[in-house]
Structure 1
Amino acid sequence: MQDSIEEGPTVGVRDRKRAETFRRIHEAAVDLTLRDGLAAATVADIAERAGVSRRTFFNYYPSKEDAVLGLREPQIPAHAVEAFLHPSLPPPDGTSPGKDRLWQAVELTVTTLASLGSPANPKVHAIVAANTELFDRVREHRDATQELLVNVLTERVAEQNRSPSTADSVRALVLLAGAILRFAHCEDPDILKNPDPTAIKKAITTFREALKDIA
């Protein structure tokens, strides 16, 4: 998985065409898997149905499983990284920060994981339910994305010549944020697609209380 930091919200014709190709391949993969089964749906058939070459298919998705799930390379928002590393910076929307470091870690993790895409389509849910190995694929992507986020933040801390304890704190916060989101996901499977502040707050509060009990 490549380090990918999103530099800004600019969207042009090229971006729209790329998004459209992602969508066509994903929909073709879903349709063929529902018709033929996951094992029988081939990359060649998916590419043909989507109107692209095999080479183009692999430029967009590394495997048919990822195409079925609609999972992409994660994008880490540069402004969110800066806001996390420099809490004194005002957020881009001009509102008051008003959130502690754990909240910021959770929000940064939500944004990054959400950029993977989410198998929220009912058709995809049906495929995953029938092919439980796809759960493992989603988990692998999310774990790798969290590790990518940790590495990007650690590198930025090193570039700023900040203390090793700062790097350890950043890593611990991001890992804890991931655990909180997994906990919240158990109650709300769409937490990444439609983050519910109340559900996230509840999960954070639960973890704070649990940490107090073992402190």
Structure 2
Amino acid sequence: MSQPISLRDRKRAGTWNALHQAAAEAALAPGLEQVTVESVAGAPGVSCRTFFNYFATKEDAVLGLQEPTVDEAVLAAYDVDGDLLEETGRLMLSVLRPIQGGTSHRRELLAKYPHLLHRRFQYVTKVEQLLTGLVAERLQASARWQGQPHEFDAEETARMTVMVVGAGMRYVMQKTFDSPTRESQFAALEDGLRLLRGVLEELQ
């Protein structure tokens, strides 16, 4: 059963959305060069200091990017002794979804300012680094892992797992670019993992 959203969280979400909307619309007209933190913060009536509690840069506000975090409930459900590819795929998507960027004029913004794609990529790299550490910790604590000999250590295995899953995640993002709902992305993840397994088998 989902927990009710507190008034504080609703207000925070409202402020985040207002800042993102203001920045995205300003980037389209008059243009990204004219967007300032002061003007964006003024839209919902907050201070520049408050702006930086939500976004690191004006570009992040334009795209609606959020720092990657792992939900404790999702992490608790992560089973490193299960299907490592599927488990890590679901974990990665749960972390990626909130940092993908807002939906306000996404296609228009990236078409007009293609260099912003690099900023999105930086956030994906943060996700991969975060997950590599988490997967390595879980592997090291796993009785199954400890009870078997391995040519590569847990950290190397975790890094490769995250890299392989990341390739499947790009498939998910491309397939659901216009409709990045939770349902569509997790469905695309299942398709992507099946395709990935088939490709890996072909390469053996």
Alignment correspondent of 1:112: 95
Q: Which moved more, 1:45-54 or 1:150-159?
A: 150-159
Alignment correspondent of 2:30: 36
> Following the alignment from structure 1 to structure 2, what is the Cα–Cα distance between the partners of residues 202 and 147?
25
Q: Is the helix fraction higher in 1 or 2?
A: 2
| TM-aligned CA deviation for residue 208 of structure 1 | 1.3
Whichever residue aligns with residue 175 of structure 1, its letter is M
| Secondary structure, counterpart of 1:73 in structure 2 | coil
TM-score normalised according to structure 2 size: 0.82
- Match 1:146 to one of 108, 112, 128: 128
In the alignment, structure 1 segments of 5+ residues that lack a partner are 1-7, 89-99
In the alignment, structure 2 segments of 5+ residues that lack a partner are 147-151
Matches within 5 A, 1:1-215: 9=3, 11-85=5-79, 87=81, 100-121=83-104, 123-158=105-140, 163=146, 165-190=153-178, 193-196=181-184, 197-215=186-204
Asked if the contact 2:63/2:102 (under 8 Å) is kept, the reply is yes
**Per-residue displacement from partner, 1:2-24 (whole Å, max 9, x unpaired)?**
xxxxxx95632221111111111
Residue 117 and residue 21 in structure 1: after superposition, are their counterparts in 2 closer, same or farther (change >3 A)?
farther
Whichever residue aligns with residue 79 of structure 1, its letter is A
Asked if the contact 1:84/1:104 (under 8 Å) is kept, the reply is yes
Residue 204 and residue 35 in structure 1: after superposition, are their counterparts in 2 closer, same or farther (change >3 A)?
same
Report which structure shows greater RCO (CA 8 Å, sep ≥6).
1
> Following the alignment from structure 1 to structure 2, what is the Cα–Cα distance between the partners of residues 142 and 191?
19
TM-score normalised according to structure 1 size: 0.78
